């Protein structure tokens, strides 16, 4: 989203005056972080709207909801203190708490050292506002509100509050914004919107719009904010939108007369309420004129401001006329503003959606938290990938060491005694193990590291279950590397690390494919009912059948038949593959490991082929997997490229492993992805929601590459 650099805008200017050290951080990172305090219906709704506008909403604060997320990406903390431990560079906060608790929430933010605080809540008692003001002065905080519609800085694309997107910044060239313009400071949100719309329609840019709030007692007033914003070098003119009641406008006029040097730039004032009856509140608690008083009336404000040299207007027409005279310039072609608004007006209603930050699935492209899965397969191990899935980032060296200890503990600690019934699918057996595993059920998932470590323990438990099922577990206790554990469990013997790494790469290639596969849907649905972790993951594992997740095993069988035919009849692989495939087609048998519902070129395929070649594993089965697409084109006339299941099946066959182990590898990897979906669901979505999986939208980190 286009915006000016953060350190060129007015918001940065205000922060720098209050917290120079924080300003240095903003200058270095080009990002201004904000939080939202109070996550009721309005707070949650506007958190999303602020985020869509471009505001960096780093966190939300709601007691009792710590560890959850809103809008898929915004973490929630129980209090500001906990938030600042993780995010120490918060520059602004908006308060959306109910009036009875707004004081404590606002003072908590102020005392935490956050320099700019906007109180959106209305009806806050005057005595509470008094206490907030005392705290703000002690801690050098710019406090705005209550009953403020918020503030907006169009050039920076920062909105804090509920202001709509009807503002337009200076354009130095089409699409390239600049910091210059007029600053609007208003008591009324509605008048502010109309004023800004009129200015933008005349090609007059706004560099900042500030709603001071409409309650009887508020924080910063006109006499605080007008001279402050005038000091910002890119403000050319200040517009104030006043109204009857109180003495803000009269105090501003008195200050202008007493300290003219503080007001070097022109001011225009628009005052509402010229015909309001005395004693009647007009919208805001502060918009009331006491009967018989000579202050607070439209006339008293107009006379005081004009005496101080401020031009007072009472219509949008006069406002634009005077602004043009004082500015002698426009900031953009007004057609640009009308085009923008037309797009907003004519835009179709938003399609209902919900967010996931785990995996972005596009044709021929798979990204986990922004990283291409093929790069992850090539460069990262299973524990690192599990951390990325659950946490959104790769682990630190210290965290990876902790994961390794937990995974080995999971692999070697005694597990449930489960008998595999003859002919029973491995997915059913593993699901039973998960459901009956008391150690897994008791493993904690609380705290920042809890979800990752529980996922890690579960991956270790899969090693334990498979070792028991396959009879390969006796030597696990002597291993200190989880990659070696994988090799021992699958092959039943100690293998070279590169062989174990090949097995691990196939597991990593299978970890996740978004929210739509049946296994992910089953886990998410169970998670929505707040089923226990092991129950939800077992639910997903149970959905991995021959239809979903079983292609690798059947592909291994097919490739092995082709290789055997070639050897038995002493014919080349292509001819043998053609014969076997023709027999499959005549018999109505499906050739597994071919084609994909999304990908025409599965991004995981080539990296697995390359790793198999590099480790010397690739042999005749992999060779068949590389020609099978050509053969099926000849036999069936269909373009069906081999997919990741087919490549895994070929590698499993070349390693002389049982074909059924291809499915075991798939399940092992998928447990990591299912765990991530479980923890995301309980952290970011309401209980028992109606889930339309087609409405899921990826809201995670954009594309990035692994650099080490």
State the catalytic residues. Answer: 284
Residue 225: which region, alpha, beta or left (left: phi > 0; alpha: psi -120 to 50)?
A: alpha
Q: How far apart are CA 467 and CA 57, in angstroms?
A: 46
**What tokens does 29 get?**
């990172």
Q: How far apart are CA 43 and CA 530, in angstroms?
A: 25
Q: How far apart are CA 76 and CA 278, in angstroms?
A: 46
Q: How far apart are CA 696 and CA 357, in angstroms?
A: 10
DSSP track, 264-323:
-S-EEEEEE-TTPPTT---SSTT----TT-SSSSHHHHHHHHHHTT-EEE-SHHHHHHHH
**What tokens does 75 get?**
């973490």
**What tokens does 424 get?**
């029973």
Residues sharing a CB contact under 8 Å with residue 527, sequence separation 6 or more, in sequence order: 536, 677, 678, 681, 682
Long-range contacts of 279-282 (CB under 8 A, 24+ apart): 281/245, 282/243, 282/244, 282/245
Q: How far apart are CA 192 and CA 237, in angstroms?
A: 15
- Give the Å distances, CA to CA, from 118 to 51, 106, 142: 16, 9, 8
- Give the Å distances, CA to CA, from 488 to 241, 380, 473, 478, 663: 75, 19, 8, 11, 17
Enter the DSSP assignment of 332. Answer: S
Helix (H) or strand (E) holding 92: strand 90-95
3-state secondary structure of 95: strand
Residues sharing a CB contact under 8 Å with residue 405, sequence separation 6 or more, in sequence order: none
- Give the Å distances, CA to CA, from 92 to 28, 38, 59: 18, 14, 11
Q: How far apart are CA 301 and CA 246, in angstroms?
A: 10
Are 270 and 322 within 8 A, CB to CB?
Answer: no
- Residue among 164, 174, 165, 182 nearest 335 (CA): 174
Matching residue, tokens 């602020």 = 50
- Give the Å distances, CA to CA, from 31 to 3, 27, 55, 418, 448: 11, 8, 9, 54, 24
The helix, strand and coil proportions of the chain, stated in percent and rounded to the nearest 5, come to 50, 15, 35
Residues sharing a CB contact under 8 Å with residue 585, sequence separation 6 or more, in sequence order: 635, 636
Q: How far apart are CA 95 and CA 161, in angstroms?
A: 9
| Other residues' Cβ atoms within 10 Å of the Cβ of residue 526 | 21
DSSP track, 520-543:
HHHHHHHHHTT--HHHHHHHHHHT
Query: Beta strands of 299-457 (E only): which ranges?
Result: 311-313, 354-356, 359-362, 365-368, 371-372
What are φ and ψ of residue 560, in 5° steps? -65, -40
Are 65 and 685 within 8 A, CB to CB?
Answer: no
Q: How far apart are CA 378 and CA 93, in angstroms?
A: 42
| Other residues' Cβ atoms within 10 Å of the Cβ of residue 338 | 14
Q: How far apart are CA 169 and CA 331, in angstroms?
A: 8
């Amino acid at each position: 989203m286009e915006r000016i650099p953060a350190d060129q805008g007015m918001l940065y200017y205000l922060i720098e005056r209050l917290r120079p050290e924080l300003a240095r951080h903003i200058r270095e990172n080009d990002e201004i972080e904000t939080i939202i305090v109070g996550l009721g219906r309005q707070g949650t709704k506007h958190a999303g709207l602020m985020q869509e506008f471009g505001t960096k909403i780093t966190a939300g604060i709601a007691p009792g909801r710590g560890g959850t997320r809103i809008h898929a990406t915004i973490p929630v903390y129980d209090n500001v203190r906990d938030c600042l431990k993780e995010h120490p560079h918060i520059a602004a906060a908006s308060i959306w708490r109910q009036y009875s608790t707004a004081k404590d929430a606002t003072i908590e933010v102020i005392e935490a050292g956050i320099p700019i605080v906007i109180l959106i809540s209305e009806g806050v008692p005057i005595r509470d506002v008094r206490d907030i003001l005392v705290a703000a002065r002690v801690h050098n905080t710019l406090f705005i509100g209550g009953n403020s519609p918020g503030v907006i800085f169009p050039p920076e694309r920062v909105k804090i509050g509920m202001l709509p997107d009807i503002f337009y910044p200076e354009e130095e060239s089409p699409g390239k914004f600049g910091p210059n313009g007029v600053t609007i400071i208003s008591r009324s949100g509605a008048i502010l919107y109309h004023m800004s719309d009129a200015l933008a329609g005349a090609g007059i840019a706004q560099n900042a719009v500030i709603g001071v709030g409409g309650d009887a007692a508020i924080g910063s007033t006109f006499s605080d904010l007008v001279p402050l914003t005038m000091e910002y070098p890119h403000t050319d003119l200040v517009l104030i939108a006043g109204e009857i009641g109180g003495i803000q406008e009269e105090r501003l006029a008195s200050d202008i007369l007493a300290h003219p040097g503080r007001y070097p730039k022109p001011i225009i004032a628009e005052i509402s309420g010229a015909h309001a009856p005395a004693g009647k509140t007009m919208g805001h608690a502060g918009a009331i004129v006491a009967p018989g008083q000579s202050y607070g009336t439209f006339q008293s404000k107009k006379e005081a401001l004009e005496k101080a040299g401020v031009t007072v207007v009472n219509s949008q027409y006069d406002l634009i006329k005077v602004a043009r005279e004082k500015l002698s310039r426009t900031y953009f072609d007004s057609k640009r503003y009308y085009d923008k608004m037309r797009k907003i007006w004519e835009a179709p209603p938003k399609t209902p959606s919900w967010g996931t930050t785990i995996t972005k699935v596009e044709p021929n492209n798979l990204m986990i938290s922004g990283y291409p899965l093929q790069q992850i397969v090539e460069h990262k191990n299973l524990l690192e990938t599990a951390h990325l899935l659950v946490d959104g980032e790769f682990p630190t060296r210290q965290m990876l060491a902790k994961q390794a200890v937990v995974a080995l503990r999971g692999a070697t600690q005694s597990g449930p005694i489960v008998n595999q019934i003859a002919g029973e699918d491995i997915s059913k057996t593993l699901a039973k193990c998960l459901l009956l595993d008391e150690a897994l059920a008791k493993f904690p998932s609380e705290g920042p590291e809890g979800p990752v470590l529980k996922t890690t323990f579960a991956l270790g438990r899969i090693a334990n279950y498979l070792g028991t099922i396959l009879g390969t577990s006796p030597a696990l206790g002597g291993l200190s590397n989880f990659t070696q554990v994988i090799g021992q469990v699958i092959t039943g013997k100690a293998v070279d690390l590169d062989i174990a790494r090949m097995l691990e790469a196939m597991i990593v290639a299978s970890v996740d494919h978004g929210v739509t596969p049946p296994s992910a849907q089953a886990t998410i649905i169970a998670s929505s009912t707040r089923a226990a972790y092991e129950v939800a993951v077992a639910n997903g594992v149970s959905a991995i059948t021959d239809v979903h997740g079983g292609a690798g095993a059947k592909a291994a069988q097919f490739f092995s038949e082709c290789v055997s035919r070639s050897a038995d009849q002493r014919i080349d692989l292509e001819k043998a593959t053609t014969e076997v495939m023709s027999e499959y087609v005549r018999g109505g048998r499906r050739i597994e490991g071919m084609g994909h519902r999304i990908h025409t070129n599965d991004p995981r395929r080539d990296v697995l082929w390359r790793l198999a070649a590099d480790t010397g594993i690739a042999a005749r089965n992999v060779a068949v997997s590389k020609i099978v697409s050509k053969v099926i084109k000849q036999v069936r006339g269909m373009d069906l490229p081999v997919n990741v299941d087919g490549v895994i099946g070929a590698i499993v066959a070349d390693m002389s492993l049982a074909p059924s182990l291809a499915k075991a590898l798939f399940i092992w990897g998928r447990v990591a992805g299912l765990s991530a979906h479980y923890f995301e669901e309980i952290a970011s979505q309401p209980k028992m929601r109606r889930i339309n999986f087609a409405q899921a939208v990826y809201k995670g980190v954009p594309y990035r590459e692994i650099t080490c």
